[in-house]
Amino acid sequence: MKLTIDGKTVTAKEGETILECALRHDISIPHLCTHSALSPFGACRLCVVEIEGMRGYPTSCTTPAAEGMVVRTNTQALQELRRNILALTMLEHPSACLVCDRRQLCEQYRPEAEKAGRTTGCHTCNNKEVCEVRVLAEDLGLSELPVPPSYHQRPLERAEPFIDRDLNLCILCGRCVRICKHQHGTAVIDFIDRSSRTHIGQAFERSLLDAGCRFCGSCVDVCPTGSLADRYAKWYGKPDATIETTCIFCDAACALELGAKRGKLITAKAVNEDVPICVLGRFALPEFLNGTDRLRMPYVRVGEVLRETEWKEAIKAMAAKLREFVGDGFAIVCDTASTIEDRHIFKKFTSEVMKSKNYIEIKPDARGVSRTSLPKGTKAALLTGNFIDAAQLKALELLIVQDCYPSAVSERADIVLPAAVFAEVDGTIPDSSGQKRPLRKACDPPGQAKAEWRIICELARAMGAKGFAYKSAGAISKKLGIPKTDLQVERDKTPEAARDPKLRRTYFRGHRIDEKVRGLQELLIDGGSSAGAAETEHKGNFQILEKHEIAPNTHEIVIEAPEVAKKALPGQFVIVMVDEKSERVPYTLCDWDARKGTITLVVLEKGQSSRKLVLLKAGDKLAHVVGPLGVPLEIKRYGTVALAAGCYGIGAIVPIAKAMKDAGNRVLTIAEARSHYLSYYREKLQAISDEFIQTTIDGSMDIKGHAVDVIVKKLKDGEKIDCVIAIGCPFMMMLTGQETKPYGVKTLAALNPIMLDGTGMCGACRVTVGEETKFACVDGPFFDAHLIDWDELRDRRAAYSAEEIHSLGRTEPVAPHHNDNHKCMSLHRTRNRE
């Protein structure tokens, strides 16, 4: 079947759609709801084309290719139409960053997405680096929205294991619903409600858990936006390397595509999008391998203690000791989580070097349990996992444990060796049918952990044995005559555990997997493990009196703190510790009432600490609130003062506006928000300013642009401004400084670097201002915006981002009652109707 697409003659296969045919011939047609694993749907309508002899613009994803068709995919009319379609789609997606005039500058200053609770734009979107919508917007040249977008005020759903769902980002392409049905026959999720209230959800408002979700993660994999996210991987960004390997959590041996960043495993998904994998394969692996308590170094027992040592020493010690146990008094016990190559070396070592017949290989049961007992008369044993009851070990004269995690067994050991396992090694493993499958190294092992065959080969050589000079796992497989193996990509039926997560394995090498992987503790099999998260008690003197989410991801918190309220002055901040284990984090004071003894903060949810704070409810108590700290802003009569405020700064600018006005200044307040639904405190600021101007990045309310645009325009028009004060994110403050500089207007910015004590004692908050080093806590927070080294500030603020992302990925699911978004949702809805 031949047809013409964009003047090129192409051949279509039987039953192929125009879109499939075009893509196969490298002719790109924009599309969004289509996905290679799914049948055509025709919902997004971005793939419209012109076909000679057909009226209108048919969607290429649903139109079968036919003999002699003449198709055009890239006319001006089509692009215009698509741009309009995308713009309409973007009306229900936080799209301001897509139409921002300073998008390029912003990307330059902060290329990686910043963490947030609810995402309100690309720069706080976990999907930023791989977003299909962003690519489309760029390709189609989307630069404005026809009417103001709407935000549905849906709560961030994070009560489920492994999956975060932010339906405010959802564009209703339906990929998730369709893949769920495709993978499991019936879908757990569906379109709920109608017209503008349509959203993705479970029938009867059940949770995913109750609705019978299998946590195969297919929905997350196909989502084109950041709406569905893998909680652990969420903020790592795009992997810099991907590799396909075999899953060895059980012998179903599914093919996994693993993604790593700087050698650290961050994602896992099915190679074959057509067949689901189980929760372990999809979600458990990165967290399991990245556990902070992995064995990283060899240990040798000296007296009572296991002493950390170098490999050379450990091997030497081991070789010396093992020489005393040559014969059947020695045993190796391993299970099938070790590769064929590893096991070959274990066996060879046992018989050839130790002259023992006691090579014991356990085949785990359906739960992954590998237990056995040692043969009578065993005096020395090498175990590769937690396989033997502690009582039996007492009789041993020498115990060596080679494993990935410490256990009751390793605690008793004389020598402990850190093993590289699973995605950290190359090798071969058999699946349940005996077919051999490849295991390929996708990430670095922790610390000095090594492949198991390598450890035993080194040991054998140290004991003077010949025949252990292998250089790679491949050399061993070659010697064993294992032919080149293939991944199990095609499979005729869904693996058991992918159909029912309760059928998954519980143990790996004798370790409970759910003790290492937080989300599994919600997905109970048998009463769960003992490692439940300790409930943090909220004790302290500082009670939260009120708390509201006044704009998406922006929380107004009123706290009882009389000592702070008594002395607070404009521009000062407090340091808050939510509980005794929290960080000390500075927040600017937005208001206070000395009489009532209360202070008000506006807090944006970003990382672990602000997350802890905004998840509290009115009535909860904070462990510590210290302040007021910092040098108060100098309040005097300047003439006209322009106040530029963004995000939390809209709150922080309030006391400054009041004080500047009281001092006799003309106060011009400009609040910038990404979109109209992110603006707050309008009435409040209007009331205390001589002139109040709202700008929005997407132009959905009042003036389009940043706050500084208003200031620059006024300066250009010859209006006199004597002082500019900017409070917001570093990007916004940098921008303000850069653009007022040519006009020589005094411009101050309130800096918010990482702090510890906040009283000058530690110097963590150092900033470079001009030629000088300043401490933001005792010299600031206000500095000359024209002199601040903004790049240094950004990098110092990001000093711990890798650690923060790891800790955030392991956070517990949040029970829905902790989320006060529901209340806000109804509030906003009523307001919108009025």
Partner 1 sequence: MAKEKIPRQPMPEQAPEDRARNFDEVPYGYTEETAILEASRCLKCKNPKCVTGCPVNVDIPAFIALVQEGKFIEAAQKVKEQNTLPAVCGRVCPQEEQCEKLCVLGVKDEPVAVGRLERFVADYERNSGNIKMPKIAEKTSKKVACVGAGPAGLTVAGDLIKLGHEVTVFEALQETGGVLTYGIPEFRLPKATVQAEVDYLKKLGVKFVMDFVVGRNSTIPELLDKEGFDAVFIGTGAGLPAFMKIQGENLVGVYSANEYLTRSNLMKAYLFPKYDTPPIKRQRVAVIGGGNVAMDSARTALRLGADVTIVYRRAREQMPARNEEIHHAEEEGIKLKLLNNPVRIIGDDRHRVVAMECIRMKLGEPDESGRRRPIPIKGSEFIMELDTVIVAIGNKPNPLIPQTMPELETSKWGTIVVNEETMQTSVPGVYAGGDIVSGAATVILAMGQGRIAAKAINEYLAKK
Distance between CA atoms of residues 265 and 286, nearest Å: 5
Quote the least distance from Cβ 379 to partner 1, whole Å: 27
Pair 196, 188: CB distance under 8 Å: no
Q: Which is nearer to partner 1, 33 or 623 (CB)?
A: 623
Selected from 219, 284, 487, 626, the binder of partner 1 by CB under 8 A is: 626
Q: How far is CA 530 from CA 249, 514, 515, 516, in A?
A: 21, 9, 8, 11
Distance between CA atoms of residues 389 and 396, nearest Å: 12
Select from 81-89, 198-206, 214-222, 802-810 the region that touches partner 1 (CB under 8 A). Answer: 802-810
Quote the least distance from Cβ 760 to partner 1, whole Å: 5
Selected from 448, 759, 816, 825, the binder of partner 1 by CB under 8 A is: 759
Selected from 416, 629, 652, 712, the binder of partner 1 by CB under 8 A is: 629
Selected from 12, 51, 413, 564, the binder of partner 1 by CB under 8 A is: 564
For the chain, what is the total number of helices (H) and then of strands (E)? 26, 39
Residue 107 binds partner 1, judged by CB under 8 A = no
Return the residue matching tokens 């935000």. 151
Q: Which is nearer to partner 1, 810 or 828 (CB)?
A: 810
**Pairing assessment for the beta strands 598-604 and 666-673 based on DSSP bridges:** unpaired
Token duo for residue 78: 């089509």
3-state secondary structure of 256: strand
Quote the least distance from Cβ 772 to partner 1, whole Å: 10
Distance between CA atoms of residues 824 and 556, nearest Å: 12
The per-residue DSSP string of 725-771 comes to EEES-HHHHHHHHHHHGGGT-EEEEE-----SSSSSSS-TTEEEETT
501 CA to centre of own chain: 23
Select from 53-61, 94-102, 238-246, 754-762 the region that touches partner 1 (CB under 8 A). Answer: 754-762
Residue 762 binds partner 1, judged by CB under 8 A = yes
Return the residue matching tokens 């050839």. 352
Q: Which is nearer to partner 1, 552 or 753 (CB)?
A: 753
Residue 105 binds partner 1, judged by CB under 8 A = no
Phi, psi of 179 (to 5 degrees): -70, -35
Kindly state the DSSP code that residue 366 receives in the 8-state scheme: T
CA triple 224-228-232, angle to 5 deg: 120
Q: Which is nearer to partner 1, 180 or 575 (CB)?
A: 575
Select from 55-63, 497-505, 633-641, 805-813 the region that touches partner 1 (CB under 8 A). Answer: 805-813
Select from 133-141, 161-169, 449-457, 576-584 the region that touches partner 1 (CB under 8 A). Answer: 576-584
Selected from 205, 486, 662, 791, the binder of partner 1 by CB under 8 A is: 791
Residue 810 binds partner 1, judged by CB under 8 A = yes
**Pairing assessment for the beta strands 398-403 and 415-420 based on DSSP bridges:** parallel
Select from 42-50, 65-73, 140-148, 784-792 the region that touches partner 1 (CB under 8 A). Answer: 784-792
Selected from 628, 705, 737, 813, the binder of partner 1 by CB under 8 A is: 628
Q: Which is nearer to partner 1, 501 or 781 (CB)?
A: 781
3-state secondary structure of 559: strand
Quote the least distance from Cβ 803 to partner 1, whole Å: 4
Residue 486 binds partner 1, judged by CB under 8 A = no
Distance between CA atoms of residues 157 and 162, nearest Å: 11
Residue 792 binds partner 1, judged by CB under 8 A = yes
The number of C-alpha atoms within 13 Å of 442 and in the hemisphere containing its C-beta is 30
Selected from 79, 543, 582, 738, the binder of partner 1 by CB under 8 A is: 582
Token duo for residue 823: 């209340």
The number of C-alpha atoms within 13 Å of 484 and in the hemisphere containing its C-beta is 0
Q: Which is nearer to partner 1, 162 or 470 (CB)?
A: 162
Q: Which is nearer to partner 1, 376 or 595 (CB)?
A: 595
Quote the least distance from Cβ 609 to partner 1, whole Å: 6
Binding site for partner 1 (CB under 8 A): 292, 302, 305, 307-309, 541, 563-564, 566-567, 577, 580-584, 608-609, 612, 623-629, 756-757, 759-764, 766-768, 773, 778, 789, 791-792, 795-796, 798-800, 803-804, 806-807, 810
